[in-house]
Amino acid sequence: MLSIIAYYSTHLYTLVLLICICYIISLLRKNYSLKERNEQMSEVMFITNMTSALSDVIRDDKDVKDALHCILSTVRDLLTADAIILLKYRDGLEEILSISVKNPDNENLMTAYTMINFQENKNTSSIYVKSHKLSDNTYINTAFSFIWYDNIDIIIAVQFLMDKELKEEHFTEYGLSIIPALRGLIIQALETEKRRNIDNIIQAKNESDKKAIELAHQLSRELEYKQLQNDFISLASHEFRTPLAVIGSSLFIIQRNYSAFFNKIKEIATVTELQRYEELFHKNNNLASNMQSYIKHLSSMIDSTLKVAIMEEHGITSHMQNIQIRPILDAVVSKLEHLRNDVDIIIQDHSNNCYIRFDPMNLELVITNLISNAIKYSRPDTSILITLQQIDGILNLFVIDKGIGIPKEQRSKMFQKFFRGSNTCTITGIGVGLYLTKKLVEANNASISFKSRKNVGTEFRVCFDVVEDI
């Protein structure tokens, strides 16, 4: 019995021992699988959380740099690392994209160490660890991982301050196997930023296109308005000229018929009647002539207004050529001298037939404006002196009248548009002639000035450069 008990006791002991061993093994296996599962769960949760954070960033229009910092901080907490640094490296220049440190006092040390060491193995695609002994019992261990993204090197540096060197076999223990997932998220974040930049560019382009269209519409409206304004001036000019032409032609017919009628009367009238009819005829003829000259005057005012309007819209058209002033001066004088019978025009020519460079049509207008003004403002029974004088390569044109002059306080406004002297009283005009004259003179590289004394007269002087080589 004892032998049987001893036999079974030995086996029971063995059995218990076996059961214990099995229990320990199962405990160890259970413990390992739990740790593995925890790690897997952590990784899954991390990726889920970070993907959700990135989605928030995209949805809420947050800065992608915030998302990167959030990712790095979460990973650093998960790994209980001391720092994670994200570097960008391009064309030999490093730039920190994001950084998360446990102790801010160590930031400079961690950054400097990363900067110095990342280049050694930057071409590798795997994770590698670089250890550096800081003191007897302190090591700075850095796990480097690289991303080649959009022609840029992105470096992930996970750093641990430890009392030992970290080896590759410790990767699982310290959770570094999560780094590939981290790489994926960083790429996703960078993609988000890139897409957002593209979206911003597209949006900016769309806005710019929209603005360009708006501006084009605005410009078109303004051009249309200008065209309408221009058309209105042309139309107004046309609408004024046509009635003037009707009045002028009617007046011409009346004068001619009246003249024919008077010639018939002369044949049958007595001497006394003839004298009376002749007086009447001359009186009516003078009235008709006055009407004709006012038609011309009104027409010239329309011309000036239209010219100013065209000049302000299109600028002055000047076809400069080498010309002599005298033929144009003579033509203008013969056209204007009949305007006043009580004013003589005297020309003194010391130009030596020199040439100036000026647009002939512009010059005709300039001379016309100056002489017609002189005629208009001359006192009765006076003369206008027009002098051409060539001195030292300059041709001076003087137009001197003995007219009403310009009050001293108003002389500075002489060339202003629509300015008329306070003493012009009943003398007609709209104040655009001298404004236009000055613009035309300046457009042809000449200059104009004047001297005036009230109730004595006015002297206008236009200076032209003489053309030496003809």
Partner 1 sequence: MSNVINIACIEDEPILRQNLSEILRDSGYSVRDFNDGAEALEYMQTVQSELCIPKLVIADINMPKMTGLELVRRMRTIGSAYSSTPIMLLTALSKAQYQTKAHDLNVQEYLLKPIDYNLLLAKVEQYVGPAH
CB of 199 to partner 1, least distance (A): 50
We find the least distance from the C-beta atom of residue 303 to partner 1, in angstroms, to be 7
Region from 52-60, 179-187, 299-307, 416-424 binding partner 1, contact rule CB under 8 A: 299-307
- When binding is defined by CB under 8 A, the residue of 101, 189, 306, 375 that contacts partner 1 is 306
Nearest CB to partner 1, comparing residues 255 and 382: 255
Choice between 302 and 384, CB closer to partner 1: 302
Q: Residue 358 or residue 415: which is nearer to partner 1 going by CB?
A: 358
Q: Which of residues 247-276 bind partner 1 (CB under 8 A)?
A: 247-250, 252-253, 256
CB of 335 to partner 1, least distance (A): 10
Please state the closest distance from residue 268 (CB atom) to partner 1, in A: 22
Is 20 or 246 the residue whose CB approaches partner 1 more closely? Answer: 246
Q: Which of 241, 357, 417, 420 binds partner 1 (CB under 8 A)?
A: 241
Candidate segments 98-106, 119-127, 129-137, 289-297, binder of partner 1 by CB under 8 A: 289-297
Place of tokens 């790690």: 39
- Shortest distance in whole angstroms from residue 196 CB to partner 1: 54
> From residue 197 to residue 236, what is the string marking binding to partner 1 with x (rule CB under 8 A)?
-------------------------------------x--
Task: Give the shortest CB-433-to-partner 1 separation in angstroms.
Answer: 16
200/317 with CB nearer partner 1: 317
Q: H/E/C letters for each residue in the chain?
A: CHHHHHHHHHHHHHHHHHHHHHHHHHHHHHHHHHHHHHHHHHHHHHHHHHHHHHHHHHHHCCCHHHHHHHHHHHHHHHHCCCEEEEEEEECCEEEEEEEEECCHHHHHHHHHHHHHHHHHHCCCCCCEEEEEEEECCEEEEEEEEEEEECCEEEEEEEEEEECCCCCHHHCCCCCHHHHHHHHHHHHHHHHHHHHHHHHHHHHHHHHHHHHHHHHHHHHHHHHHHHHHHHHHHHHHHHHHHHHHHHHHHHHHHHHHHHHHHHHHHHHHCCHHHHHHHHHHHHHHHHHHHHHHHHHHHHHHHHHHHHHHHHHHHHCCCCCCEEEEHHHHHHHHHHHHHHHCCCEEEEEEEECCCCEEEECHHHHHHHHHHHHHHHHHHECCCEEEEEEEEEECCEEEEEEEECECCCCHHHHHHCCCCCCCCCCCCCCCCCCCHHHHHHHHHHHCCCEEEEEEECCCEEEEEEEEEEECCC
Per-residue interface string for the shown chain with partner 1, residues 309-338, x marking contact by CB under 8 A: -x------x---------------------
Smallest distance, partner 1 to C-beta of residue 244, A: 4
> Given the rule CB under 8 A, which of 86-94, 97-105, 294-302, 418-426 is the region that contacts partner 1?
294-302
CA 113 to chain centre: 49
Closest to partner 1 by CB, 306 or 386? 306
The answer to whether residue 237 forms part of the interface with partner 1 (CB under 8 A) is yes
Under the binding rule (CB under 8 A), the answer on residue 245 touching partner 1 is yes
Find the binder of partner 1 among 226, 296, 338, 350 (CB under 8 A).
Answer: 296
CB of 255 to partner 1, least distance (A): 9
Size of the site for partner 1 (CB under 8 A): 25
Q: Is the dihedral of CA 291, 297, 302, 303 positive or negative?
A: positive
Binding site for partner 1 (CB under 8 A): 234, 237-242, 244-250, 252-253, 256, 292, 295-296, 299, 303, 306, 310, 317
